[in-house]
Structure 1
């Protein structure tokens, strides 16, 4: 899978970049960059693919990712609103020698752990979430001091999980960019139709066996599971409208209700009808 190299520049008059990202229906974006990245998920939940780590994240998630650690954009596949507050910075954001001073030892070790990706929990998550929100209201030296406070909290925390093993290797080649983009674009354009494995293998310019191995290696899931998940995510959006469940089934690319119900329950752990009831109930609370 091609890793896009995201180009990042600090904000004007600042040593780091702060982003308040709001989105709906994000495209698949597999990328890496030489900056460290603190991520706070303010709204939304979905799938997590960071390095070789596959999992799920929930609203309120706080993570610290190291440089050149490939990851997907968290907004991909999310149903409804998605919002993140992100800090992107280099390890020399305060100068070449600042990390070497004795007072920075804990933060220096935090940066070393971040190379493998870190997810924080408990009180650490709550404290950092609040400070990340406050960060968007600050400027100048106040903003820098607040960032240092965030790094201090993260460096002193024991409430964390390392996402990738220390011997992880990321086998992502630049020449795969065009191929993986063709695959995802083809699914986005044709998911309502019957997608034959022979056709998608031809799109990828691979034999069927080679394509199946390639896709599983790059995404850690079969192509069939990927297409079904894509269709179910689309069905979730349609279930928030007045469209009948049978119509949702066919509009999402399934050709019979029984298979649709079974697949929906596999991915969402509930039936389409129960999902709709839950969404409508939550809507009445807002």
Structure 2
């Protein structure tokens, strides 16, 4: 695929609304398609008025959307509604790059609704837009079909991308309940994220760089807050407590090391930030439903 380089969104500050990503469509097109690697300045906790359809091609980690947090692997496809804060946080070791991680497209919901008014046949897709407010994640054949279409969109002329978009929305609409789920609770209020971008991204950057010994006190310092204020702030905005968030990331790292290396489990335990084997095993079992040794055998055959 001869992919175009990613566009360069600009950050703008609007009084009372915090900083948000301003996405400029290329060539005055209504649909913006792009791709990029990780780490990347575009890969951060943010929000924007466009709907985003997103494919992860490499790496594993945690998908953050509103107050939802769920693991992702290659082939993960999601649709994120307008102004819903989101981020894909890959588990990488220092210096590691994932050059082809992300493929995505953006379109304003108003654009899609105009399509409904012109072509009544597409009016049923309105429910997809409503569900996107809770972030839709596909799996199975639906994810495979959507991912393939999203990649091929990069090779198509703008007119063809309109047809691609309708096909993508149709996949989300027609996916079975087993292959389509939402990750944000119905009562989540996106307004809680307004103005929180800098503090959340500073905390996430600190945690990612110090996962083996991340502390609430240091994360609060990175976010320029007192410990108690930061603890409440993080739970409100991210939808998960600080210690639970760190635990998810640590167990995610352990899962990756168990399936991609032959390291002894004791070493993986230490690299994942657990000095105590029993605590590591208990946390791992709670998150995955398996012991570390069983997980390795099940997922890698080692």
TM-score normalised per structure 2: 0.69
Match of 2:8 in 1: none
- The answer to whether 1:172 aligns with 2:192 is yes
Runs of 4+ in 1 over 6 A off after TM superposition: 24-28, 78-82
Q: Distance in 2 between matches of 1:196 and 1:99?
A: 50
Measure, in 1, the Cα distance between the counterparts of 2:186 and 2:144: 27
Name the count of aligned residue pairs.
278
Q: Which has the larger radius of gyration?
A: 1
| 1:101 paired residue among 98, 118, 125 | 118
The CA distance in 1 between the partners of 2:218 and 2:141, in whole Å, is: 50
Counterpart residue number, 1:50: 65
| 1:1-286 equivalent positions in 2, closer than 5 A | 5-12=20-27, 14-23=29-38, 29-42=44-57, 46-56=61-71, 60-73=75-88, 75-77=89-91, 83-93=101-111, 98-103=115-120, 104-108=122-126, 110-120=128-138, 124-125=142-143, 127-155=145-173, 159=177, 160-161=180-181, 163-164=183-184, 167-193=187-213, 195-239=214-258, 240-278=260-298, 280-281=300-301
- TM-fit CA distance, 1:30: 1.4
- Contact map agreement 2:45 2:197 (CA 8 A) in 1: no
Instruction: Find the counterpart in structure 1 of residue 9 from structure 2.
Output: none
What is the alpha-carbon distance in structure 1 between the residues aligned to residue 146 and residue 262 of structure 2?
39
State whether residues 38 and 65 of structure 1, in contact with CA within 8 Å, keep that contact through their aligned partners in structure 2: yes
Pair 25,84 (structure 1): closer, same or farther in 2 beyond 3 Å: closer
Gaps of 5+ in 2: 1-16
| RMSD value, Cα | 4.0
Rate the CA distance shift 1:260–1:34 in 2: closer, same or farther, 3 A. Answer: same
Deviations 1:50-83 (A, max 9, x none): 223344456544433321111122x534899784
**1:36 to partner: Cα distance:** 1.3
Gaps of 5+ in 1: none
Distance 2:181 2:256 in 1: 32
Using the alignment, how far apart are the partners of 1:237 and 1:114 within structure 2?
29
